[in-house]
Chain A
């Protein structure tokens, strides 16, 4: 059992929680994730860790309520327990001095991007960060990302803050001003990662993406999370979650994400009818 130490709301349907988990905090690294199960009849879902507090023995998770499990998780409060958390899982991000790195985040993916921004900054890189969202309220962690970035650009679809447009608009702006970028990371909704990868390829910038396919065990024993990267089958839970964005088969990846759409709806509706909105 893993106790929730604190909880706050970040945006509509987005929560920020700190959880007591000393072992995971001690051995976790940027780019890794956990698999959690809310209660005894629950499913196992992957969630990225936004921060490891080694001294405090706690980890930070940021999530959006999109289905039954995240909705149930969002109903838990300080002092409540999550039944199971397994982690840290996956291969850590490759942190070293690249020179100038471009960090691109969208939606709740910004939480997964944040520890990598921090680690790359601490490794001596020049960090330029682009955060994108539909509207200003949906761009989370702006101040925290700014703290570890040499430059922060925010884009909003509706122009309510920063640059009007999407993250690739800002990538073009950087290219036009002649900014030389050695490596980039794009983490967010799959459609954003797809287009950011295509743009990065166009600009000839190597690009890591963090894939979030359906997972069950998260330890390499089922292949439910398999993805095709550069024509090879890889298991995102152990070979990833970070892969070469240029090589990902995005159509296949997005199709596989929709595999349980009907069942997900049944589950959420049943839950809402039992618990209320």
Chain B
């Protein structure tokens, strides 16, 4: 039987409807659809997909279990490699990872001569995880303490949750310190509900708590508990505080009312439920015409959130072209379907302030002066660098700007811990080969605080190798 050239279609909310609500866009496979999609997998011996996955999930095996209808077994196989399958199935850029190297996707369809679509690995992973979550919960039994030590984990994003889960399964006493009032890091405050429902994140965190991991919220490591206290009370430390400080481009007018970092905009909406104001106290601005600066996933999330809050128009300004867009292609398509407009090869040069007589309007943003760009020679990153075109300025009427041009490392902990070596970009120097060992013995680091802003799955991958390294370190220490 020939393989279907296309992925089994998955149901999604109608773009016209979903553009006005925060409910999840993609509705997921039914068991029948999942089994049908699983049948497209060739179960290749060399399994390039496994090499394409940063945590090396046994992809053909978990898919084979779905094909047989043994969803429990499928979930078990996933769990051996990942602590957050429901999350990763949703937010991984599979087109650049497992699905990008899938053999099915590299074959041509005989009748059309076009490339097949790869197996929908992410959607199947998500299916298995969601199926498991819908079953009566079996609480994992905490592993008794192995006597080898206590581990402090700083931050509670995907990297930390992975380390904590893995170490708890080995019998370590693990305490996570989280500064915000809810654990989850970017999964809670960054990625919106319509892409990653918070109930799913909460479910995964509950599972990790059930393993015996202690999560202390409202704790800033280095302030609420000092570095000395952490070093005195714990035998090893894992730092995964992320890359959470927003960058501002420094465009004139950056501090006008109506200009936000994407971090602020998304935190207000996701963590603080700004879209449910005034049932929740934190307001999110009602905007008419929104400009989002940047082309990554954060920019897509901010643009689509602004639309859902009722903006009449949302325009993404990106200084390169659609081919360089760093966002996931699926999310770009979702944004276009929902009505987000794109101005490629465009950069802001000035945010314009109200200049009339109404005192209440003073200091407010009323427009963005933009400039057209053209692409020059490839730069060090291999991407063609944008150059401004002379006399190409034009002005858009805009009352809200959201800058999504990247993040850098948060210095609060690093400043308080000068012995911790950082690189020239301000991230922690950690040796990946040794599982994230830093300049201080017993202190490990991973995720965005080492690499700069990257992906959920890479942060988890770093967590997995660090857990192994910490286990070896503490085992050797206990033996002495």
Q: Is B394 an interface residue (CB 8 A)?
A: no
Q: Shortest beta-carbon distance, B327 to chain A, in Å?
A: 21
Given contacts A87-B224, A88-B224, contact A221 B244 (CB under 8 A): yes
Q: Which residues of A contact B267 (CB under 8 A)?
A: 216-217, 221-222
Please tell me if the beta carbons of A216 and B282 are within 8 angstroms of each other in the complex.
yes
B283: contacting residue among A42, A227, A263, CB under 8 A: A263
Q: Which residues of A contact B272 (CB under 8 A)?
A: 43-44, 216
Q: Is A277 an interface residue (CB 8 A)?
A: no
| Complex CA distance for A48 and B410, rounded to whole angstroms | 22
Given contacts A41-B280, A42-B281, contact A88 B363 (CB under 8 A): no
Q: Shortest beta-carbon distance, B186 to chain A, in Å?
A: 10
| Complex CA distance for A251 and B359, rounded to whole angstroms | 13
For the complex, count residues of A whose C-beta is within 8 A of B.
Answer: 43
| Complex CA distance for A256 and B256, rounded to whole angstroms | 7
> Interface segment, B59-67, B214-222, B231-239?
B214-222
A220: contacting residue among B245, B268, B282, B363, CB under 8 A: B245
Question: What mask results when residues 162 to 203 of chain B are scored 1 for a CB within 8 Å of chain A, else 0?
Answer: 000000000000000001110000000000000000000000
Q: Is A159 an interface residue (CB 8 A)?
A: no
For the complex, count residues of B whose C-beta is within 8 A of A.
Answer: 39
Please tell me if the beta carbons of A267 and B283 are within 8 angstroms of each other in the complex.
yes
Q: Which residues of A contact B246 (CB under 8 A)?
A: 221-223
Q: Is A126 an interface residue (CB 8 A)?
A: no
Please tell me if the beta carbons of B281 and A220 are within 8 angstroms of each other in the complex.
no
Q: Which residues of A contact B248 (CB under 8 A)?
A: 223, 226, 233
> Interface segment, B3-11, B101-109, B120-128, B257-265?
B257-265
Given contacts A220-B411, A255-B362, contact A87 B223 (CB under 8 A): yes
Please tell me if the beta carbons of A256 and B283 are within 8 angstroms of each other in the complex.
no
Question: What mask results when residues 27 to 54 of chain B are scored 1 for a CB within 8 Å of chain A, else 0?
Answer: 0000000000000000000000000000
Q: Shortest beta-carbon distance, B262 to chain A, in Å?
A: 9
Q: Which among A42, A83, A220, A228 has the highest number of chain B CB atoms within 10 Å?
A: A220
B218: contacting residue among A84, A222, A227, CB under 8 A: A84
| Closest B residue, CB atoms, query A32 | B223
Q: Is A204 an interface residue (CB 8 A)?
A: no
Q: Which residues of B contact A220 (CB under 8 A)?
A: 244-245, 410-412
Q: Is B475 an interface residue (CB 8 A)?
A: no
Please tell me if the beta carbons of A219 and B179 are within 8 angstroms of each other in the complex.
yes
Given contacts A43-B281, A89-B223, A256-B363, contact A224 B264 (CB under 8 A): yes
Q: Is B255 an interface residue (CB 8 A)?
A: yes
Binding site for B on A (CB under 8 A): 23-24, 27, 37, 41-44, 68-69, 83-89, 216-217, 219-224, 226-228, 233, 238, 249, 251-252, 255-256, 258-260, 263-264, 266-267, 270
Please provide the 6 A-B residue pairs with the shortest distance between their CB atoms, ordered closest to farther.
Answer: A255-B363, A263-B283, A43-B281, A222-B264, A221-B244, A43-B282
What are 26 inter-chain pairs, A to B, with CB distance below 8 A?
A23-B225, A41-B280, A43-B280, A43-B282, A44-B181, A44-B282, A69-B281, A84-B217, A85-B218, A86-B181, A86-B218, A86-B219, A216-B264, A216-B272, A220-B245, A220-B411, A221-B245, A222-B267, A223-B261, A233-B255, A238-B411, A255-B362, A256-B363, A263-B277, A263-B278, A270-B278
